[in-house]
């Protein structure tokens, strides 16, 4: 059958499949690629016990279709969790999703028609970029520096758009432990971003996947906490703090927006079993979040050790001219190669030498990003990270 004449515009041009870390890597190759959680950190035995508890006490509800917004026990847990973070929210501010990615997709469907302006950071999360492309949005980039999103550049862009009679629909940002850059938006810039969003009447989508994995430094207020019931939608996930395979995330939204989002969520509710399982695991003792918080502390220790191993290896092995970010949390560091080197062109040589990464050009909507690459430290133990960085730095040195 000839399929070409049937494709929607968003699928008319094939996009190369992104390779995955772990089992998909060739034998003998160390994958510093995708930010998978540490598989050894999954609380499997506790989840087995929680599963039994759920099936025995809530089996009829957990195995049935569920409320589109999410089961009330999980919504109530999220209200308590957010309150502890200084975020005022009730059930009518929350929408449970199949991972954070579904949250990004729902917000995109809520706001973006073909040709609408979406502002993104340069670089930004690959999955969000593809979501905006699927919606046929028109992306505009704003650069990052070591302090996060350049709000002066953002203000200039918004002013230019307004002068042209154009309205940006959405500013997508990852303010805390950025993916892929690892940097964090300072508090003054957070407040300036909110001011700009209000002034120009644009919504901010705050992707907050990593803020709970802080290794050092002071916790900063989320964008949503600076503007509750205003110009920010926050997307969160359990993928980094419990188990990615649960595919469990949630949106924190102004109440006025929730009914519009509910009508767009056509999956008949995110897995009730996963929702009840998360509640049963986290609420131990009942009515608390003690076990979840204890688990997050364990994860911080694991990822801090891996971050330190990667940064230490870069300090030891990186040739002159190589620069990288020092994340205070999260999963990633962002490498900048010396002038004249191209990360994508270097990848086949790196793979041959036994290490892989994602070239930086994948993370830009418009700009080239050829000198950049992302390294993930979350998935592998320290010894593998050190050896992977050593192999990579040797390839860079030989190419320089």
Question: Is 336 domain-assigned?
Answer: yes
Quote the pLDDT of residue 81: 97
CATH number at residue 30: 3.90.1150.10
Quote the pLDDT of residue 20: 47
Task: Confirm if 127 and 239 have CB atoms less than 8 A apart.
Answer: no
Q: Quick check: 152 pLDDT over 80?
A: yes
Distance CA 173, CA 375 (A): 20
Distance CA 316, CA 323 (A): 13
Q: Quick check: 18 pLDDT over 70?
A: no
Quote the pLDDT of residue 37: 96
Q: What is the DSSP string of 257-274?
A: GHHHHHHH--SSSS-HHH
**CA distances for 241 relative to 76, 141, 293, angstroms:** 18, 30, 9
Q: What band does 400 get if pLDDT is binned at 50, 70 and 90?
A: confident
Cα–Cα nearest to 248, from 224, 213, 205, 282: 282
197-213 pLDDT, tens digit per residue, is 999 999 999 999 999 99
The single-letter DSSP state of residue 148 is E
- Beta strands 323-324; 332-336: pairing state: antiparallel
* Domain C-terminal end among 244, 271, 288: 288
Domain range for 131? 44-288
Q: Quick check: 32 pLDDT over 80?
A: yes
Task: Confirm if 358 and 33 have CB atoms less than 8 A apart.
Answer: yes
Query: Residue 73: how many CB atoms within 10 A of its CB?
Result: 17
Number of domains within the chain: 2
Do 181 and 316 lie in a common domain? Answer: no
Global pTM value: 0.95
Do 251 and 303 lie in a common domain? Answer: no
CATH number at residue 241: 3.40.640.10
242-295 pLDDT, tens digit per residue, is 999 999 999 999 999 999 999 999 998 999 999 999 999 999 888 899 999 999
Quote the pLDDT of residue 23: 45
Q: Quick check: 19 pLDDT over 60?
A: no
């Amino acid at each position: 059958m000839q399929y070409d004449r049937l494709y929607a515009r968003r699928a008319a041009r094939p996009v190369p499949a992104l390779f995955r870390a772990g089992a998909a890597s060739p034998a003998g190759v160390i994958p510093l690629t995708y930010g998978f959680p540490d598989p050894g950190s999954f609380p499997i035995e506790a989840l087995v016990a929680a599963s039994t508890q759920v099936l025995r006490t809530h089996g009829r509800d957990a195995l049935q279709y569920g409320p589109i917004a999410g089961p009330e026990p999980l919504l109530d847990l999220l209200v308590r969790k957010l309150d502890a973070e200084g975020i005022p929210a009730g059930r009518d501010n929350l929408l449970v999703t199949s991972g954070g990615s579904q949250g990004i997709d729902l917000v995109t469907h809520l706001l973006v028609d073909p040709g609408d302006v979406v502002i993104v950071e340069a670089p930004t999360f690959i999955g969000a970029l593809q979501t905006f492309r699927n919606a046929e949005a028109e992306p505009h980039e704003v650069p990052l520096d070591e302090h996060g999103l350049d709000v002066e550049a953002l203000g200039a862009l918004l002013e230019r758009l307004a002068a042209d009679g154009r309205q940006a629909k959405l500013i997508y940002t990852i303010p805390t432990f950025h993916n892929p850059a690892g940097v964090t938006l300072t508090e003054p810039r957070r407040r300036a971003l909110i001011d700009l969003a209000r002034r120009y009447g644009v919504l901010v989508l705050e992707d907050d996947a990593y803020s709970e994995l802080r290794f050092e430094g002071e916790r900063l207020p989320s964008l949503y906490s600076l503007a509750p019931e205003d110009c920010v939608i926050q997307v969160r996930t359990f993928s980094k703090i419990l188990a990615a395979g649960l595919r469990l995330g949630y949106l924190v939204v102004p109440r006025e927006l929730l009914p519009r989002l509910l009508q767009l969520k056509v999956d008949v509710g995110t897995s009730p079993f996963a929702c009840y399982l998360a509640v049963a695991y986290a609420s131990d003792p009942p009515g608390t979040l003690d076990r979840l918080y204890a688990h997050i502390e364990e994860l911080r220790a694991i990822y801090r050790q891996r971050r330190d191993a990667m940064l230490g290896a870069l300090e030891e092995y990186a040739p002159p001219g190589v620069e990288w970010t020092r994340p205070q949390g999260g999963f990633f560091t962002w490498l900048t190669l010396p002038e004249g080197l191209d990360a994508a062109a270097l990848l086949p040589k790196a793979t041959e030498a036994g290490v892989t990464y994602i070239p930086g050009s994948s993370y830009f909507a418009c700009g080239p990003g050829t000198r950049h690459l992302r390294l993930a430290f979350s998935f592998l133990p320290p010894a593998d990270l050190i050896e992977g960085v050593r192999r990579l730095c040797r390839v860079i040195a030989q190419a320089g």
